Amino acid sequence: MHDATLVFDLDGTLIDTAPDLAAATNHVMARLGLAAVDERDIRPWVGHGALKMIEQAARAHGRILTEPELYDLFEIFILYYSDHIAVSSRPYDGVIAALDGFMADGAALAVCTNKLERHARQVICELGLAKYFTVITGRDSLGVYKPDPGHLTGTIARAGGKPERAVMIGDSETDIKTAKAARIPVVAVTFGYSVEPVATFAPDVTIDHYSELSASVGRLLNRPA
């Protein structure tokens, strides 16, 4: 895999960030005078961004927010989340071993996330994962973001990789749409934040644990063109 580039989504793929994102969302609910929403009810919206999490949490209380209200609350969310970004977030089981293996094999590793780049870097650094990734791109890094294929192909280019030797790893319909549009094979993890079973969106491979990833990537990289 010495010439391979592996591009990972972040939330729901590498790191279970939902507890801290839910806490930030519920901080916003408290500012509205509303009760906390169960983390399990917020998880399905994590992949859709903070605005959607805030909107849906308020909607659960029967509160419909205007666009100006949403953007004002987004600023409150961002300030709180920046200060509490890695309180309870943790890498998924098997992530460290998998990344160590890929690094030892000489693969280039990158992150392509719709999180703001500074937040992606912050959580990756605080959890001790920064040494693994040559490139981290967020929704504000390249002028486009997933599902625009340019976010993925631009990440691969920044990593010095070739599309024909790249694989995307994600957890959502957005990740799969992005990879398909970029003509990059995609592995989907089944334990992320997808509302529907991720296999519904026809990734090339699904895995239930990171111990399955190396073999899956190897098969995708070595399959006939």
Catalytic residues: 9
Measured in residues, the chain has a length of 225
Q: At what angle do helices 213-222 and 95-104 cross, to 10 degrees?
A: 40
Hey, what are 166's tokens?
A: 């790249």
> Are the beta carbons of 9 and 171 closer than 8 angstroms?
yes
φ, ψ dihedrals at 128, nearest 5°: 75, 25
φ, ψ dihedrals at 91, nearest 5°: -60, 145
Q: How far apart are CA 52 and CA 193, in angstroms?
A: 14
SS (H, E, C) 89-142: CEECCCHHHHHHHHHHCCCEEEEECCCCHHHHHHHHHHCCCHHHCCEEECCCCC
Which residues make Cβ contacts (< 8 Å) with residue 129, sequence separation at least 6?
A: 14, 15, 91, 95, 99
H/E stretch holding 7 reads: strand 5-8
Q: How far is CA 57 from CA 12, 116, 155, 190, in A?
A: 19, 21, 32, 24
